[in-house]
Structure 1
Amino acid sequence: MTIRHLRIFMAVCEHGGNVTKAAASLHMSQPAVSLAIRELETYYGVQLFERNGRHLKIAEAGRRLAVYAVSITGTFDDMEETMRSWETSGPLHVGASITIGSQFLPSYVSAFSARYPDSQVKAMVAPGALLEEKVLMNELDFALVEGAVHDSAFVSKRYMQDRLAMVLRPSARHLNRSVITLEEFRAMPFLLREKGSGTREVFDNAVEKAGFSVEPVWEAYSTTALLKAAEQGLGAAVLPYRMVVPALQSGRVIELVPEELDFTRSFHIIYQKHKHLTAAARDFIQLCIDYEMDYPLIHHSALE
């Protein structure tokens, strides 16, 4: 018994037992329709129709089968539509680190949803270590993280160049200055992201290479909180450049670049090595890659 048998059976029912009309509606021959009905009756060992020449009258067993046939064929059609469109309309589970999630992910999802209105994006914004776990557990299709992941279980693709900016409230002391010495830098009260974050890792690595370390006066998960603290004159916040552009343009903060320190970094897309990415997932990734072309990073470094 196949879906084809049920569709033929339903066509005969819909045409009041008229095999000729049922065959015409299915673009089949009358003998082929009659054969399919007999095969169904043989399969179940029941009489589905009472015969009167070319016309059939549905029997009690036929009425019972019709109830199931409507449900089964409807469910089958739903399955066909869902699975055939899965590559472009299935749900997409995306992870992003806190910086990327707060600064870029909303733009990515908005642009993607305009292109794939039937595909639901389920997002998770969390520290990079947790995102790696979720990708390995297949709870996320892929994740956008700060820095490369050196684990053979992942594919890690660079998709955007980024840099950190040290910003603080404008003051007469720093008027008309853009570069400071390492001694001045070390004396700053720092407002930093928490240990373990991608932003903090870039900062710590840079100062470690210069041969020293710093103890921040503030540590926070929230980049917004750190920027607000810098605007209030509580210290120097070291944050992703693209995030602080509006505050720089409005004059609420200024950027100072320390000599001999390199705060550049890359964002990466990670997913399982053997993960099948749907067409929608591949397009989302390409959208992220294209974003840097539309919003290029403005470099400002004492090393240049």
Structure 2
Amino acid sequence: MIDFRHQTFLQLCRIKNYTKTASKLHITQPTVTQHIQHLEKHYGVKLFNYSGKSLEITEAGKKLYKYTERMTADSKEIEKTIKKKSNTQTIKFGATLTIGEFVMPNVLNQVMKKNPELNFDMLVENTETLLNKLKAGEINFALLEGFFDKSKFDYQLFSNEKFIGICSPLSKYSQQKIRLEDLLDSRLILRENGSGTREILEQILYTNNLSQKSFANKLEIGNLNAIKELVAKNRGISFIYQAAAKKELANNLISDLKIIDFNIKREFNFVYLKNSIFEDQYHKYFKLFSSYRK
């Protein structure tokens, strides 16, 4: 179990206010100060400085934050392992929406057929939420479709996936060769802020000197099935991973947009905390999942 003073340090790093940190932890402000002073004396470094009225983390503090965050996550996993009373393993991990709904069900089905002793608890959330849960030790690893800071995490490439535009078979754009700019009079149906799919679309638009505001209308929906249903009914266009539309494309419920010079692939990554003591175990699950990805 991680030292309580390190827990105070983590909260102060995140909140950057002694009073609010004390309130969050249900302790007094002098106690927060004592905890930080103890750590500074123990490590022989200054962990925080004030810049005007703002509390800033020193370079030494940033290093300690990184290691303490990882130790906290590992500590939670150690506790679960020690308390485990059966031989059945439960692996808790996260996946972004496309991966969780359209890739992992088949992978998990195959894995559990061959490994009946394994249990899985998969949390499906957007990239931002999963990274926060990973850092907090609430999940062991995450399969992400979006961008993340690769300098702050260890990761393995899970797959390269095609990113496409979709429309209704009844759309005037269906089966037509078009430019990205030709779509601007359409209603753009896109995911919510924080989703990997949206981040990728926004980057693509940016590199083409466009944005979501360039489109005539916009509709935000957090559910991929709802997006595909609206597209199928010709209520707008969208951009998603081909893996998420495989069934609808095969059944001609939606069409892929034939956009000139739009041949885009993006990474699905298997992500975990840097230098975790459970790194070898996570590698094992990466190899297991990868072997059933088709």
Task: Provide the TM-score with structure 2 as the length reference.
Answer: 0.64
C-alpha distance in 2, partners of 1:291/1:188? 38
Which residue is equivalent to 1:5? none
Q: Which residues in structure 2 correspond to 1:165-176 (within 5 Å)?
A: 165-171=164-170, 173-174=172-173, 176=175
Q: Which residues in structure 2 correspond to 1:103-122 (within 5 Å)?
A: 103-122=102-121
- Structure 2 alignment gaps of length 5 or more: 1-80
Matched position secondary structure for 1:173: coil
Q: Which residues in structure 2 correspond to 1:131-210 (within 5 Å)?
A: 131-171=130-170, 173-174=172-173, 176-177=175-176, 179-210=177-208
Matched position secondary structure for 1:267: strand
Q: Percent of counterpart pairs with the same letter?
A: 21
C-alpha distance in 2, partners of 1:165/1:175? 13
Which residue is equivalent to 1:239? 240
Which residue is equivalent to 2:93? 94
C-alpha distance in 1, partners of 2:107/2:251? 25
CA-atom RMSD in angstroms:
2.7
Matched position secondary structure for 1:243: helix
Matched position secondary structure for 1:252: coil
Larger Rg: 1
Q: Which residues in structure 2 correspond to 1:1-304 (within 5 Å)?
A: 89-171=88-170, 173-174=172-173, 176-177=175-176, 179-215=177-213, 216-277=217-278, 281-292=282-293, 295=294
C-alpha distance in 1, partners of 2:290/2:241? 18
Aligned residues: 211
Asked if the contact 1:169–1:231 (Cα under 8 Å) also holds between the matched residues in 2, the reply is yes
Asked if the contact 1:203–1:263 (Cα under 8 Å) also holds between the matched residues in 2, the reply is no
1:119 Cα deviation (Å)?
2.1
Which residue is equivalent to 2:41? none
1:175 Cα deviation (Å)?
5.5
- Structure 1 alignment gaps of length 5 or more: 1-78, 296-304
Asked if the contact 1:92–1:281 (Cα under 8 Å) also holds between the matched residues in 2, the reply is no
Asked if the contact 1:146–1:266 (Cα under 8 Å) also holds between the matched residues in 2, the reply is yes
Asked if the contact 1:142–1:269 (Cα under 8 Å) also holds between the matched residues in 2, the reply is yes
Task: Provide the TM-score with structure 1 as the length reference.
Answer: 0.62
